[in-house]
Structure 1
Amino acid sequence: METNSSSSYSSVPINPTTVETAVRRTFVRRHKGLLIGLLSVLLLLFSLLMAFHAYIAWTLARPHIDPLRSNPALSIGTAYEDITFPSLNGSSTLSGWYIPSEMESANSRKTVVFSHGYGGNREEIWVPIYDLAKAAHKMGFNVVMFDYGYVQPDWNVTGGLRESQELLGAVQYAKDRGADRVYVWGFSMGAGTALQAALLTKDIDGMILDSTFVLEPETLYHNMKQVANLPKFSQGLVHMFFPLLNGVSLNQVPYQTVKETKYDIPIFFIHGKEDLKAPWNMVESIYQLQKDQSGSQLWLLEKDGHELIYRAHKKTYLQMTTGFLQTLSTGSPEVVKHGQSR
């Protein structure tokens, strides 16, 4: 018996579009995880980049501050008073020491207010301020040593904005205690703060400014570069995060005004050319703006660093600074401001 068997295979035409779609879906399925992983890595890197710059902005405004180690009686053998006073605008309350003059002299109604730098307190041990306070006291001056508000745990640095009001509060305190002239002796950001404060008052009769630091974009980037080799865009990111985390914008700091002002009081600028925190050429340019008859001076040293000049040149430093103070104190306020003495 013959069996007739026939093949019943049917041919189905292949649709190129269907094949292309299937291939694309297979590619997407196979690489979907890779794409998600890549995007996750990029997002993580972006988040870390933002967090890193936010951390810089946060820590810049909250430097570590050592506790007080001593007091004027123990360190330099002078009587002193614990004092508190408000900033000029009442936004903060400051603590400090008042060292009254112990002699009846031409300087007993004159006060030196010390303005400490970033990361320090009223003692500024690495200078140290105690030695300079002793020198001013021996000349017969009253002395004010105080802590800026950011020394307190709940406050942060504002680049001189709140600090200038706090310095003016110290100046007002000296005036309330009977001072007819007040001289500010500032260091680093405390010196830059003094320049800001002098824009706002006529109650400062002269200043000694050591290693002046003025917070501006280029100076900020200059300091960031000392910590890590950061790209230029880091400067902008830190500026962006600073007001978000610290409540004040660095753009509010009047650094341009400070750099362009011709002050009508004598200023003694002291700076080292190897200062890695505060570029010396900014200080030189500010000094060059001062009027010839203002009595301002510049002591620029070739091989000295930030706030280290006194330690390296104690005798000369004291001779020049006390000589400057003596020149200020021996003339009338009006005469001294024009660089003359009686």
Structure 2
Amino acid sequence: METTRAPAVVFNPPAFENAPTKTSRKKMWILLPLAILFGLFACAILAFHGYIAWMLARPAIAPLSSNPLLAVGLPYEDVSFTSSDGGSALNGWFIPAEGSDKVVVFSHGYGGNREELWVPLYSLAKELNNQHFNVLLFDYGYVQPNLSVTGGVRESRELQGAIDFVKHQGMKHTYVWGFSMGAGTALQTALYSKEIEAMILDSTFLLEPDTMFHNIKQQVDLPRFPSLPLIRFFFPILNGTSMEQIPYQTVKESNYAIPLFFIHGKKDVKAPYDVVELIYENQTSPRSSLWLLPEGRHELLYKANKKEYLKRTMAFWNRVSSDSY
């Protein structure tokens, strides 16, 4: 009996079933470069904001170009001392006033040194010496290449170290004249220092998030978000100090027991004058005062009106020093 074999059944899957694999591969080759580009872009953004945080704490500072004797004919002594916590080694010039036990310590601003020629400190030191005040000009630690700006955290201890130094030199009455961030540092120091008897604060700058971003935006037009959070994130990582360590809110809310003379320009684009007005409103000392110059600009107030500036500042120093005796 003859049998008939059934034909073999061969299953050939439809061609479209391979399509998902091919499509996935195509998508992968499209998405992979996009993911790489996105990653590179994100890294570039992070690196850029890290660079800003790094540079903010390391301003370019010119070397000393003169000294009190060459600049204004004042004999001086080269001096060295440490911050109050011993963490910084500092250098300066002490300008003596024979027979006087009162001293003005200058607190220079961000990006400057003990000369701060644009103020200029030599001229003010000369006038103080004429008024029979000893003078100390010194460099904050960040003038040295191995240290960074900390917005007053370390600098306040350095200023206290300068005050301790002049006390050891026999000075019985100590006053501080601060400029820009040096004025903000002076306010931080006065929160705890018992030796400061009065201060002049010219173009006061407090390093806080708003003022920091205000200054950055003048150089680079960045959006507040995510730029400000990123810079604040990188600042302590790269510089060792967090902005949360700066007592800017305490400074703005404090009533200082000593006389404060605020001098500020209404056209100051680096340190808005409303911050100074806020601090001044908290003061109850009858000797405290505020002088706002309508056309004044940051740290250029002496140059704008030398005669009136010297008249008011020297009157303040002589008044508060007379009260001390």
> Structure 1 residue 72 and structure 2 residue 64: aligned?
no
* 1:97/1:145 contact within 8 Å kept: yes
Q: Which runs of 5+ in 2 are unaligned?
A: 1-6
Tell me the CA shift for residue 12 of structure 1: 6.4
Q: 2:38: which partner in 1?
A: 42
* Letter matched to residue 329 of structure 1: S
Deviations 1:118-154 (A, max 9, x none): 0000000111111111110110000000000000111
Tell me the CA shift for residue 10 of structure 1: 9.2
The separation in 1 between residues aligned to 2:159 and 2:280, in whole angstroms, is 22
Q: Which of these residues, 133, 155, 164, is aligned with residue 172 of structure 1? A: 164
Q: 1:81: which partner in 2?
A: 77
* Letter matched to residue 34 of structure 2: L
> Structure 1 residue 97 and structure 2 residue 93: aligned?
yes
* Letter matched to residue 148 of structure 2: N
Corresponding residue SS for 2:84: coil
Deviations 1:76-122 (A, max 9, x none): 101100000111111111000000003x4xxx110000000000000
Deviations 1:237-288 (A, max 9, x none): 1110011111111110001100000000000001111111111100000001
* 2:266/2:292 contact within 8 Å kept: yes
The separation in 1 between residues aligned to 2:167 and 2:56, in whole angstroms, is 33
The separation in 2 between residues aligned to 1:80 and 1:13, in whole angstroms, is 103
* Letter matched to residue 239 of structure 1: R
Q: Which runs of 5+ in 1 are unaligned?
A: 1-8, 334-342
* Letter matched to residue 165 of structure 1: R
Structure-2 change in CA distance of 1:269 and 1:12 (3 Å): same
* 2:173/2:324 contact within 8 Å kept: no
* 1:264/1:294 contact within 8 Å kept: no
Q: 2:155: which partner in 1?
A: 163
Deviations 1:13-70 (A, max 9, x none): 7756x62x42222222223222111001100110000000100110011111100000
Tell me the CA shift for residue 301 of structure 1: 1.3
What does 1:1-342 align with in structure 2 at a 5 Å threshold? Answer: 19=16, 21-102=17-98, 104=99, 108-233=100-225, 234-291=227-284, 293-332=285-324
Tell me the CA shift for residue 332 of structure 1: 2.5
The separation in 1 between residues aligned to 2:182 and 2:10, in whole angstroms, is 88
Corresponding residue SS for 1:205: strand
Q: 1:337: which partner in 2?
A: none
* Letter matched to residue 260 of structure 1: E
The separation in 2 between residues aligned to 1:32 and 1:310, in whole angstroms, is 66
* 1:265/1:294 contact within 8 Å kept: no
* Letter matched to residue 249 of structure 2: Q
* 1:117/1:188 contact within 8 Å kept: yes
The separation in 1 between residues aligned to 2:8 and 2:45, in whole angstroms, is 62
The separation in 2 between residues aligned to 1:66 and 1:42, in whole angstroms, is 40
- Report the TM-score, using the length of structure 2 for normalisation: 0.95
Identity value in percent: 54
Tell me the CA shift for residue 220 of structure 1: 0.9
Count of matched residue positions in the alignment of Structure 1 and Structure 2: 318
Q: 1:3: which partner in 2?
A: none
Corresponding residue SS for 1:140: coil
Corresponding residue SS for 2:46: helix
The separation in 2 between residues aligned to 1:35 and 1:11, in whole angstroms, is 42
The separation in 1 between residues aligned to 2:275 and 2:94, in whole angstroms, is 33
RMSD: 1.6
- Report the TM-score, using the length of structure 1 for normalisation: 0.90
The separation in 2 between residues aligned to 1:196 and 1:228, in whole angstroms, is 29
The separation in 1 between residues aligned to 2:24 and 2:18, in whole angstroms, is 10
Corresponding residue SS for 1:290: coil
Tell me the CA shift for residue 312 of structure 1: 0.8
* 2:202/2:263 contact within 8 Å kept: yes
Structure-2 change in CA distance of 1:14 and 1:305 (3 Å): farther
* Letter matched to residue 264 of structure 1: A
The separation in 1 between residues aligned to 2:217 and 2:196, in whole angstroms, is 35
